Amino acid sequence: MPSLFAQGAGLAGSLIVLLAAWRREWEVPLHAVAVSLLGVFVWFVDDRIWWLGLVAVVTISASFWVAIARGRRRVRDAEGKSNALASQLDRRISELFSLQELSYVLSESIQLDRIVDQVARYAGRFLQTDGAIVVLADDARAQRLRVVAATGTLEALQGRKADESDAGLVQFAITRERIEVAQGVGTPTVNLIAGTTVRSAAVAPLRSQGLTMGALAVADRQGGPFTTEDLWLLSTVATNASVVLANSRLYEIVRQSKEEWETAFNALTEGIAVVGPSGAVLRANRALAALSELSESELVGRGFCATLFGSSEAVEELISAAYRRQRTAPLVVRLERTQRVLRLTAAPFADQPGRPPSAGTGSVVILVEDVTEQRILEAQLIQNDKMASIGQLVSGVAHELNNPLTSIAGLTELLLEREPHPDFPHEHLRVIHDQAERAGRIVRNLLTFARKGVAEKAAVDLNDVAARTSLLIVYELQLHGIELESQLSPEPVVVLGDRYELQQVLLNLVNNAVHAVSQLEPGRPRRIRLETALQNGTAALRVRDSGPGVPPHLVSYLFTPFFTTKAPGEGTGLGLSLSYGLVKAHGGILGYEVPPEGGAEFRISLPGFHPPEGGPTEGSPTSAARPVCHRILVVDDDPGVHRLVSALFTPQGHVVEAVRSGSQGLRMLKERDFDLIVADALATAGPSELFVQALALHRPEACARVVLGISGNGDLPDSALDALVRRARKPFSVRDLSALAEEIFASTLPRSPAATEER
């Protein structure tokens, strides 16, 4: 029995040892059970082997004590680990709260300066370092670095710059795109950036969307070397900061782009409007607001067509076509309020994703160009082309008319100077002479109206301008039954200006008056009155008519280009605007007044001009008592001119010779000298050379004795000839031709009749 019990106790002990080795946490309880079983075993064991039981008890007790010591040590280790884990957990929670606080702070602002300052301050506080900096790259390759934020001991680095040659720790971290750590020693030996040394530093690159923007660096940790947790926290802060900085840069790019777009949008001189599906203005620039006479804020939300053009089917159709994604030709319209001419171009916005190209909804952009000045220039060019063609036609006709008129007017003037014949009374000759003079004035007025060339400033008598204009329109006045009254100043009303431009202004005003008066009902007086006056040094020219006048609400638009009250096709609206510009160019004012008796009155006010006195002086060679004989050469293809010059100068004892071509005149001048040369300006000496040009080339000294007969506008082909020759307008006036001849004779040596015959 004891033997079996001993065997059972041995098996139980072996099992306890195995369980204690398998589960260390059961070691102490199992040792207690083993001691109990051993005690029972010793109680029942044989007395002869009692010492063996005692040894077993002592051994088991010692093992039990060791198990108890191990259990206590494990408890202490578990408590230490628990405390470490609790401390680490507290730190992680603190870091999470700090990161959350940083996120809140960074989310409060999108401004770059505030963001980098907060990142540097919080990074230094999280990692318990003496200083922190944020470095950003000025270029995409991060070759030039700039410290944009600095705190603590590194605050002096604020604004410092570094380039690629700087081999500091910051440059290494950016180049290698990873966190760089330098623990250093007790003295500052770590080159952080731009030659600045610290004891220890950790640098994390700032990267977002594959782009390195800069780096976040902390230096001189207060609690010892940087740990793995510190680097993890630095990486987390750098990651969050990178995202916020990327958003900030993107926002800044968008803001700058928006400002540039708005600046360009408002800087355009053309009006631009973005019109929504309902036809309301969604966006408008300053130019369009100025055209609509509204502010930009007032214009937004209003209907585009109704606000600018009222009810305009053409504009509405243009916008509707743009809604349908159709490209149409630009539309030219005129604003009724300001009479400005506008050109509209409408185009749809780009098709949005998911919307078919033919969709009839969406927004439309409309370009509004003010083409008023362009239309004025186009009209002027067209008018210039017309006038150039008319000028060429009239010049040719005038040359053909002036030659016979020269003979008629000149010969009748010579006959009038003789004693009257009983069969041919002077009254008939006076009528012939006056009508010839009238025909000559009409030709000159036509040339004046069709004149080409630059303006010539000279002394102009407004009385003469009014008289010439009256002759131009006399037929039209008779056709419409209009009475023309002229109240011209008894004294000359002289201004300094271009006769032709002033006559064009007056003709425009008279034509407008004719149009206004001709629309009157039968029985009402149709009258136009021209007045000239000189008051206080100011020359005035008035055109007054008995028409209906201008409505008061249209007076402010009278001188606006393209404004007209005439029916379509009857006027361009340019006459008054061009006249206003011409008068202003002369230093004057063109204004509108309402006469007391009704109608309309346009007044031209110009500065008066006092020409210097001149004329031949007493004792001049023209007053020589001894008769002088001169030789005169006439170069003209019209025999009538030959007869006129011969009839004028032969009775005075002069010798007149005539040729019909310039080449013959040059041959005559080679054979002998002439004291006076009367030549037609268009007389030719060759296929492409005028007589006066050949004379200036071969006999320049003879040009001083030349009188050119001008049938056109008076411009010589070579401006250098203006100072060499004298000019007389055809048909010749006998008095003017005689005065020019006396002036030339006075500058030449007198020649006796005998000497003339010898030659």
In one letter, which amino acid is 724? L
Q: Map out the domains of the chain as residue ranges.
A: 2-81, 110-260, 268-370, 454-611, 627-758
pLDDT of residue 494: 92
625 in helix, strand or coil? coil
Residue 315: other Cβ atoms inside 10 A: 21
Lowest mean pLDDT among 367-371, 381-385, 605-609: 381-385
Q: Tell me if 403 sits within 8 A of 640, measured CB to CB.
A: yes
- Across the chain, what does the average pLDDT equal? 77
Lowest mean pLDDT among 190-194, 664-668, 749-753: 749-753
Is residue 531 over pLDDT 90?
A: yes
Is residue 603 over pLDDT 90?
A: yes
Q: Tell me if 199 sits within 8 A of 186, measured CB to CB.
A: yes
pLDDT of residue 230: 83
Say yes or no: domain 454-611 is CATH 3.30.565.10. yes
Is residue 86 over pLDDT 80?
A: no
Show contacts of 127-131: CB within 8 Å, 24+ apart: 127/202, 127/218, 127/221, 127/226, 127/230, 127/233, 127/234, 128/221, 128/222, 128/223, 129/218, 129/219, 129/220, 129/221, 129/222, 130/154, 130/219, 130/220, 130/222, 131/155, 131/198, 131/218, 131/219, 131/220
Confidence class for position 141, pLDDT limits 50, 70, 90:
low
pLDDT of residue 167: 62
Query: What pTM was computed for the model?
Result: 0.44
Residue 293: other Cβ atoms inside 10 A: 13
Architecture of domain 627-758: 3-Layer(aba) Sandwich (3.40)
| Candidate ranges 101-115, 352-366, 720-734; pick with highest mean pLDDT | 720-734
Residue 663: other Cβ atoms inside 10 A: 17
Top pLDDT among 631 and 224 is at: 631
- Give the helix/strand (H/E) hosting 182: strand 180-182
Is residue 332 over pLDDT 80?
A: yes
Confidence class for position 753, pLDDT limits 50, 70, 90:
very low
Q: Output Rg (C-alpha) for the chain, integer angstroms.
A: 56
Averaged pLDDT for residues 195-210: 87
Lowest mean pLDDT among 97-101, 276-280, 417-421, 638-642: 97-101
Top pLDDT among 98 and 471 is at: 471
Q: Tell me if 628 sits within 8 A of 742, measured CB to CB.
A: no
Is residue 609 over pLDDT 50?
A: yes
Top pLDDT among 404 and 203 is at: 203
Top pLDDT among 362 and 682 is at: 682
pLDDT of residue 445: 59
Averaged pLDDT for residues 116-134: 86
Averaged pLDDT for residues 165-190: 82
Q: The tokens 């492409």 sit on which residue?
A: 688
Averaged pLDDT for residues 35-40: 63
Confidence class for position 612, pLDDT limits 50, 70, 90:
low
Confidence class for position 134, pLDDT limits 50, 70, 90:
very high
Over residues 693-736, the pLDDT tens digits come to 888 888 888 888 888 887 655 556 566 676 678 888 777 777 77
Cα 539 to Cα 493: distance, rounded to the nearest angstrom: 6
Show contacts of 565-571: CB within 8 Å, 24+ apart: 566/515, 570/515, 571/515
Over residues 238-275, the pLDDT tens digits come to 888 888 888 877 888 888 888 888 888 788 888 888 88
Q: What is the CATH number of domain 268-370?
A: 3.30.450.20
Confidence class for position 682, pLDDT limits 50, 70, 90:
confident
Give me 6's structure tokens: 């001993």
pLDDT of residue 606: 93
Averaged pLDDT for residues 572-601: 82
Domains 110-260 and 454-611 share a fold: no
Q: Which residues pair with 545 in a beta bridge?
A: 528, 600
409 in helix, strand or coil? helix
Say how far residue 756 (Cα) sits from the centre of its chain: 73
In one letter, which amino acid is 398? A
Conformational region of residue 221, where left means phi above 0, alpha means psi within -120 to 50, and beta covers everything else: beta
Say how far residue 531 (Cα) sits from the centre of its chain: 45
Q: Tell me if 727 sits within 8 A of 707, measured CB to CB.
A: yes
pLDDT more than 70, % of the chain: 73
Cβ within 8 Å of residue 471, ≥6 positions away: 438, 441, 442, 445
pLDDT of residue 245: 82
Over residues 221-234, the pLDDT tens digits come to 887 888 888 888 88
Averaged pLDDT for residues 45-74: 62
Is residue 280 over pLDDT 50?
A: yes
Would you identify the CATH topology of the domain 110-260?
Beta-Lactamase (3.30.450)
Lowest mean pLDDT among 58-62, 661-665, 696-700: 58-62
pLDDT of residue 607: 92
Confidence class for position 622, pLDDT limits 50, 70, 90:
very low
Top pLDDT among 127 and 441 is at: 127
Over residues 490-529, the pLDDT tens digits come to 899 999 988 878 888 898 888 888 888 888 888 788 999 9
Q: Euclidean distance between the first and final Cα of the chain, in Å?
A: 194
Residue 379: other Cβ atoms inside 10 A: 17
511 in helix, strand or coil? helix
Q: How far is CA 103 from CA 238, 244, 673, in A?
A: 12, 9, 110
Cα 708 to Cα 691: distance, rounded to the nearest angstrom: 10
Buried b / exposed e over 208-234, threshold 16 CB at 10 Å, is: beeebbbbbbbbbbeeeebeeebeebb
- Give the helix/strand (H/E) hosting 706: strand 706-710
Over residues 641-660, the pLDDT tens digits come to 888 888 888 878 788 888 88
Q: Tell me if 162 sits within 8 A of 172, measured CB to CB.
A: no
User: 612: cis peptide before it, omega within 30°?
Assistant: no
Is residue 756 over pLDDT 50?
A: no
